[in-house]
């Protein structure tokens, strides 16, 4: 009996996480849909790092790189708009260009939580079409793995 209650609680928490992270419902809306108190949702969100997961799915590394490259292009355009004899980067511009290039290189090499979440979501979605039960199991494994590598609470 206790195992069934624990299983139901886990299922509710997982559904709540999907609603909050993937569907952008507020914590209050999720509580209402799932049938638990808002405090429970707040506790789960904090324990399982839902805010970080939500942020990870909204700004991908590719988008961050695109934005950084646009900033570099804007600085270069400002430099090129000057008279020919003054088309040199100021020390501040050179510093900014260097920092932006370093950030791009780091993003291109790193596998961050954004990448992990993106792959987990794509793989689970793909698996759901052929084997929904296995997809659920895979989702649980991905969640545990992401919690582990990000230093989150373990289940």
**For every one of its 155 residues, what pLDDT tens digit does the chain have, with 9 covering 90 and above?**
455 666 788 889 999 998 898 877 899 999 999 999 999 999 999 999 998 888 776 677 777 888 899 999 999 999 999 999 999 999 999 999 999 999 998 887 766 677 778 888 889 989 999 998 999 999 899 888 888 877 764 43
1 and 42 inside one domain: yes
Residues 140 and 103 sit within 8 Å (Cβ to Cβ): no
pLDDT for the residue 153:
44
Residue 153 counted as domain residue: no
Residue 24 counted as domain residue: yes
Give the integer Cα–Cα distance in Å for 153 and 155.
7
Residue 143 counted as domain residue: no
43 and 75 inside one domain: no
Q: How many CB atoms lie within 10 A of CB 34?
A: 19
The domain containing residue 82 runs over which residues? 61-109
| DSSP class of 131 | -
pTM above 0.95, yes or no: no
Residue 17 counted as domain residue: yes
Phi, psi of 111 (to 5 degrees): -110, 100
Residue 124 counted as domain residue: no
Residue 52 counted as domain residue: no
Cα separation values, 32 from 23, 29, 71, 111, Å: 15, 5, 42, 35
Domain count, the chain: 2
Residue 116 counted as domain residue: no
Residue 68 counted as domain residue: yes
């Amino acid at each position: 009996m206790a195992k069934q209650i624990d299983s139901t609680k886990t299922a509710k928490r997982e559904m709540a996480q999907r609603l909050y992270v993937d569907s952008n419902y507020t914590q209050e809306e999720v509580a209402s849909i799932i049938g638990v108190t808002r405090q429970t949702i707040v506790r789960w969100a904090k324990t399982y790092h839902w805010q970080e997961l939500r942020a990870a799915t909204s700004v991908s590394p590719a988008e961050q790189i695109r934005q950084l490259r646009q900033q570099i292009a804007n600085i270069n355009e400002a430099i090129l708009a000057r008279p020919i004899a003054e088309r040199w980067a100021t020390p501040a511009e050179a510093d900014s260009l260097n920092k932006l290039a370093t950030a791009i290189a780091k993003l291109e090499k790193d596998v961050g939580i954004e990448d992990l979440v993106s792959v987990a979501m794509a793989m689970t979605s793909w698996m759901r079409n052929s084997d929904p039960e296995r997809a659920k199991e895979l989702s649980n494994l991905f969640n545990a793995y992401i919690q582990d590598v990000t230093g989150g609470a373990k289940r």
